[in-house]
Amino acid sequence: MTRLVLVLGDQLSDGMAALKAADPDRDVVIMAEVAEEAGHVPHHPKKIAFLFAAMRKFAARLQDAGWRVDYTRLDDPDNSGSIPAELLRRSAHHKASGVIATEPGDWRLRAALEDMPLKLHMLRDDRFIATATEFEAWAKDRKQLRMEYFYREMRRKTGLLMEGDQPAGGQWNYDHDNRKPAPDAITFDGPLRFEPDAITSEVLDLVEARFSNHFGQLRPFWFGTDRDQALQHLEHWIAGGLPGFGDYQDAMLADQPFMYHALIGLYLNAGLLDPLEVCQRAEAAWKAGQAPLNAVEGFIRQIIGWREYVRGIWYREGPDYMTRNALGHTNDLPDLYWGAPTDMRCMERAVTQTAENAYAHHIQRLMVTGNFALLAGIDPAQVQDWYLAVYADAYEWVEAPNVVGMSLFADGGIIASKPYVSSGNYIDKMSDYCGSCAYRVKDKTGPRACPFNLLYWHFLIRHRERFRSNPRMGQMYATWDRMAEDRRATVLAEADAFLARMQAAKRI
């Protein structure tokens, strides 16, 4: 009897568990572009276009391989608007006995699938290197779930950058070599850009007509939209970007949104690239003398370390993880995150580049937009929705731990041992933003004081009871206590005034 085989927009891999469990001679693959998934947050138009075009091409790939595919386009008059409703519609048509699905990376969608009046066979997403069982075994009985130690287990499991039982070069982690300020010039020409083909152009017209009110610029559109293009992009970056990635991965330049970064998150997270093949290709470049060890190790750590780790945290903590707000922050997300004018050069650059590219690299996300949201006490749920909406590589499983745990400390310290907060000094050191900013990063108080300087101390003082005993933060409080009383009062008063302007929707 016929079964339906669900393939979601971020499951565009030939070896998906649901496909492996199905029979192309009797089962029917179901794929659908639906309004609910495109609009439950206002996704960036580039992200929607990327996924719809990639889905259409993947459906054609499956058909060429002998699968029957029922594909629903967004503008199909029979489109019922959601994944469960499409499955119900197709099930009635085929008189299907049930649905085979690979677990989604979104608790909301998983719950909706499990609530269907259809027999559902949900399979583990085995595209990740660590299973949920393996992560739980590693995490069990640990007081602190620090990524570094999990990463070492993944190195041992995969054999990547290993020499027997020891790490290549004698060190597990070369992070201390990967924190150089921005160089005078970037020698990499950035991500590989693809001219839209007929399928992609048709999708672009559809997205332009339906989602022009969403934040972000649809055109120019240059993402790859199939596996072959994703592999070409990877090779382009390995040759030109990887050698400089390690040294400058934390650096930021106002006119260089990509620096030496790989920009493969959207391809990995949609299933067009496999994490192990990507890491093996980077390792091969090191072995061939084409890239230094610190660059290759730093890149591989992001994939088999951080990416696998946040997936494990998301799965282990469950659906309520996204609702956590350990610091009790309730301020509304200011309009500058949606492109409203601001005098803060770093925020303007990060948000503008996000609007243009549906992308910002990890330090822009963590130490600019994330740092500001934490210091300003913004509601974590609103921040999560923003990150999920604006980035082409964002899905709940990867976005929630990065925002709730890493950026906002809203999980109370499951991921981070202390909040990732900084004054303007860090941004000044790692970027060229401050030199052209209306605020002065050297000013600690006064009308042109950098907002990060004011809000840094405001954050520490309003959360002193929680953090004063944290061994990594004691020196910060000792510095505050040595300040003159009148200066402390001025800092807090000016920070309060800044936050009041922000919440009153005035330009900041």
What does the pLDDT read at residue 176?
A: 86
Which two tokens mark 311? Answer: 């997936």
Position 184 pLDDT exceeds 90: no
Reply yes or no on whether the pLDDT at 320 is more than 90: yes
User: Average pLDDT for residues 319-338, to the nearest whole number?
Assistant: 98
Separation between Cα atoms, residue 421 and residue 459, nearest integer Å: 9
Instruction: Assign 3-state DSSP to the chain and report helix, strand, coil percentages, each to 5.
Output: 50, 5, 40
Pairing of strands 28-32, 68-72: parallel
Is 95's pLDDT higher than 90? yes
Return the closest-CA partner of residue 79 out of 44, 38, 111: 38
Which pLDDT score, from 0 to 100, does residue 149 have? 95
Q: What is the mean pLDDT of residues 168-192?
A: 92
pLDDT at 125 over 90: yes
Model pLDDT, residue 458: 98
Long-range contacts of 292-296 (CB under 8 A, 24+ apart): 292/243, 292/246, 293/161, 293/168, 293/169, 293/174, 294/174, 294/177, 294/178, 294/246, 294/247, 295/178, 295/242, 295/243, 295/244, 295/245, 295/246, 295/247, 296/161, 296/242, 296/246
Q: What is the pLDDT of residue 504?
A: 97
How far, in Å, CA of 295 to CA of 168, rounded?
13
Residue 428 has pLDDT above 90, yes or no: yes
- Please state the rounded mean pLDDT for residues 198-217: 98
pLDDT at 177 over 90: no
330-378 pLDDT per residue, tens: 999 999 999 999 999 999 999 999 999 999 999 999 999 999 999 999 9
- pLDDT, average across residues 397-426: 97
Confidence of residue 63 (pLDDT cuts 50, 70, 90): very high
What separation in angstroms does the CA of 344 have from each of 205, 439, 443, 449, 500? 34, 7, 14, 11, 16
Task: Please tell me the distance from the alpha carbon of residue 107 to that of residue 367, in angstroms, as a whole number.
Answer: 28
d(CA 383, CA 380): 5
The CA distance from 223 to 341, in Å, is 28
User: What is the model's pLDDT at position 1?
Assistant: 86
pLDDT in tens, 234-276: 999 999 999 999 999 999 999 999 999 999 999 999 999 999 9
Using alpha carbons, list the distances in angstroms from residue 215 to 22, 231, 268: 39, 29, 23
Q: Degrees (nearest 5) of the Cα angle 15, 17, 21?
A: 105
d(C-alpha 162, C-alpha 168), whole Å: 5
pLDDT above 90: residue 10: yes
Which structural domains are found in the chain, ordered by start? 4-123 (3.40.50.620), 132-190+241-305 (1.25.40.80), 335-503 (1.10.579.10)
| CA distances to 99, 273, 341 from 30, in Å | 10, 21, 44
Confidence check: pLDDT of 178 > 90: no
Arithmetic mean of pLDDT over the chain: 97
- pLDDT for 299 beyond 90: yes
